[in-house]
Amino acid sequence: MEDIRAYMIPGKKAHLVGIGGVSMSPLAEVLHHAGITIHGSDMRESAALDHLRSLGIEIAIGHRAENIAGCDYVIRTAAVHDDNPEIAAARRSGIPVFERAQAWGAIMRRYQNAVCISGTHGKTTTTSMMTHITMAAALDPTIMIGGTLPLLGSGYRVGHGDTIVLESCEYCNSFLSFFPTVAVILNVEADHLDFFRDLEDVEHSFHRFAQLVPEGGSVIVNADDSGAMASVAGLEHPIVTFGLSSENADFTAANRTEKQGCPAFDILYHGTLYCRAALRVPGQHNVLNALAAAAAAHALGISGDVVARGLATFTGAGRRFEHKGNYNGAEVYDDYAHHPGELHALLTTAKSLGYRRVVCAFQPHTYSRTKALFEEFVEELKLADVAILMEIFAARETDTLGISSKDLAGRIPGAHYCRTLDEVTALLRTLARPGDLILTAGAGDIYLAGEKLLVQ
Q: Which residues are catalytic?
A: 123-124, 167
Distance separating alpha carbons of residues 339 and 379, to the nearest angstrom: 12
Q: How far apart are the first and last CA of the chain?
A: 54
Strands 58-61 and 330-335: unpaired
- Closest of 314, 328, 321 to residue 454, by C-alpha: 328
The DSSP output letter for 67 is G
Longest Cα separation, the chain: 63
> Can you tell me the distance from the alpha carbon of 356 to that of 408, in angstroms, rounded to the nearest whole number?
24
Torsion angle defined by CA atoms of residues 390, 395, 396 and 401, in that order, rounded to the nearest 10 degrees: 0
DSSP state, residue 392: P
- Beta-bridged to residue 216, according to DSSP, are none
Report the amino acid identity of residue 351: K
Which one-letter amino acid corresponds to residue 128? Answer: S
Q: Tell me the sheet residues that pair with 41.
A: 17, 60
CB 121 within 8 A of CB 373: no
E strands, 100-153, are: 113-118, 142-149
The answer to whether 43 and 59 have CB atoms below 8 angstroms apart is no
- How would you classify the pairing of strands 182-185 and 142-149? unpaired
Answer whether 334's CB lies under 8 Å from 320's CB. Answer: no
